Amino acid sequence: MNNFPDQEFLSLFGCNDYFENELVNPWPCERHLARVILEERNLYRIQVGLNLTAWATVTGKLQFEALSREDFPAVGDWVIAEQPPCADR
């Protein structure tokens, strides 16, 4: 799992070679592997690193294509989180 900056987080939260092999390389730097740790309505709290969490939402594409609740992330799922562009750019 050499593509991720926080190896300790990934190992502690159950990431393994299966997840890494499912991902396309090279990674864009704005995307991060994260674990869903809390769900509140249409918001998800994701763990991005040992001491880093963030709020996230699903993309419009997923919302449009979802057929049922099971199509959305659940607590414990691994997701790819895309960081929004900085306002300064």
Q: How far is CA 61 from the centre of its chain?
A: 16
CB of 33 within 8 A of CB of 10?
yes
Instruction: Mark the ranges of the chain whose per-residue pLDDT is less than 50.
Output: 1-4, 87, 89
Residue type, 9: F
pTM exceeding the 0.85 threshold for the entire prediction = no
Give the pLDDT confidence score for residue 56 in this predicted structure: 93
Which pLDDT value is given to residue 60? 82
Cβ distance 46 to 35 under 8 Å? yes
**What integer pLDDT is reported at residue 44 of this predicted model?**
96
Query: Which residue has 């659940």 as its token pair?
Result: 74
Residue found under tokens 């593509």: 3
Task: Give the integer Cα–Cα distance in Å for 37 and 74.
Answer: 8
